[in-house]
Amino acid sequence: MEIITIDGPSGVGKGTLALYLADKLDFNYLNSGALYRSIGYIADLKSIDLTDEKMLISITQSITFKLNKTSKNTEIMYENKNINKQLFNEKTAKTASKIASISSLRKSIVNIQRAFAEEPGLVAEGRDMGSIIFPDAIIKLFLTANTKTRAKRRHKQLKEKGINVSLSQLIDELEARDKRDTVREVSPLTVPEDALIVNTDNKSIGKVQEQVMSYIGNTIKI
């Protein structure tokens, strides 16, 4: 079974590319960031101490994390409610990034992530997809863009949703999160040895998709 991994920092466009590829190849899709976000969200909701590893790990047992094969969405259920919409805000992202540095917690969710590898194939996005979770993936991509580009994209996205945040605040938040995700001891954001690095600065989404599809086409039969 073919696995494509996409790693890279916050706001670099992993989600957009992953969904495009999953759709184009009709592969399954794993948004691993949503798993970390859901744990962070519930930790905030229940005012759980972020150093209490046992409590954090027990959250993972109360979440159902599954793939909707039609919408390609990673659906997250907690207490019989879908919590997907609650996860994509800066507060939850910040808590997610903090709890993501806990080794025992990361280990406790490895199998949940690997279970997404189902026929006919998988596109998995995150920080450690190619390095730790799916080291045998046939295609590994690593997306990059400078902080300003990423902050500008996020700014535009939020504006479209009617949310007004200053660009400088977004740059500060991205830098803080990048730092936490990169310097942590366990599974830090790194470029897998055999990954194709795709710099997306000054490149439209269409151009990135085109470059990646041509790389994939040269490697696997599509």
Binding stretches for ligand DC (CB under 6 A): 10, 32-33, 36-37, 93, 96-97, 100, 126-128, 177, 181
Contact 49, 143 (CB under 8 A): no
| CA neighbours closer than 13 Å in the CB half-sphere of residue 86 | 16
Question: In whole angstroms, how close is the CB of 43 to ligand DC at the nearest point?
Answer: 13
Nearer to ligand DC, 2 or 181 (CB): 181
Nearer to ligand DC, 176 or 222 (CB): 176
Question: In whole angstroms, how close is the CB of 57 to ligand DC at the nearest point?
Answer: 15
CA nearest to 63, candidates 75, 51, 46, 49? 75
Question: In whole angstroms, how close is the CB of 83 to ligand DC at the nearest point?
Answer: 14
Question: In whole angstroms, how close is the CB of 221 to ligand DC at the nearest point?
Answer: 28
Nearer to ligand DC, 101 or 211 (CB): 101
Nearer to ligand DC, 35 or 212 (CB): 35
* Spatial distance between the Cα atoms of 126 and 136, rounded to a whole number of angstroms: 16
Phi, psi values for residue 140, rounded to 5°: -125, 125
Rounded alpha-carbon distances, angstroms, from residue 187 to 30, 33, 39, 110, 203: 18, 13, 17, 12, 28
